[in-house]
Amino acid sequence: MTDLGPCSYYLGMLVTRDRPNHTLCLGQRGYMEKVLRDFSIWESNPMDTPMARNDLVKAPKGYQPPKDLQATFQSAVRSLIYAMLGTRPDIAYAISMVSRFVSNPDKSYWQAVKCILRYLQGMVDADLVYQRPPTQLEDYTDADWAGDKDTQPSTSGFVFSIGSGAISWSSKCQPMVALFTCEAEYIGQTQATKEAIWLKSLLVELGTEDDGPSATIFTTIIRVLLP
């Protein structure tokens, strides 16, 4: 085994550590610049948000997308998913929406993907920053109600943070149709609770957490301390 020194680059992520100030930054500027250039977005005007509005609906039955559009759309979505999983929780919802149309995209879906790319063009230097203290695991979760215009399921999301930086996040379509807003919120809390239990066990195994409360979960309707 060879000691190569402090980690500075890992899986496409730039690792910057400031030991005197006890901070660590993760960023993907190099990767995202390459993606933006590949799809001819690097010189475009940036967007302020990753989605203009959620008005995406499925293409009419029988629609067959042009093969070049389908290939470009799928390639762009794959590239964006990698960025989202690495350091960009801010595009998780937008990626969740456009990913539902990868098998049958039309031009409106491609415009939605370009909106995400243009948003990243203006936020290419945004990094995740981790500081000490605090080290308490916290989660923020929320859900809409019947946000999918085609089949009416809700979308819920969560983000866990520790040491001031996000460590786990998700935005997904719920597996069932909620009958009212409160039910959608509880489904979202259930998904976040399962993630909290797993993260707690991981932190205990790493020796950075004791066997106390798992996480503080903040939602729009309740704040609970998990046992």
Total number of residues shown for the chain: 227
pLDDT at site 29: 94
What gap in Å lies between CA 144 and CA 188, rounded to an integer? 9
Helix (H) or strand (E) holding 199: helix 181-206
> pLDDT tens digits for the chain (227 residues)?
788 788 888 888 999 998 888 888 999 999 999 999 999 999 989 999 998 776 666 666 777 888 899 999 999 999 999 999 999 999 999 999 899 888 888 888 899 999 999 999 999 999 999 887 666 788 888 888 877 666 778 888 999 988 778 999 999 888 888 888 888 888 888 899 899 889 888 888 888 765 555 666 666 544 444 44
What gap in Å lies between CA 76 and CA 41, rounded to an integer? 11
Convert the pLDDT of each residue in 39-93 to its tens digit.
Answer: 999 998 999 999 877 666 666 677 788 889 999 999 999 999 999 999 999 999 9
Per-domain residue ranges of the chain: 8-132, 135-226
> Which sign does the torsion angle of CA 118, 35, 126, 148 carry?
positive
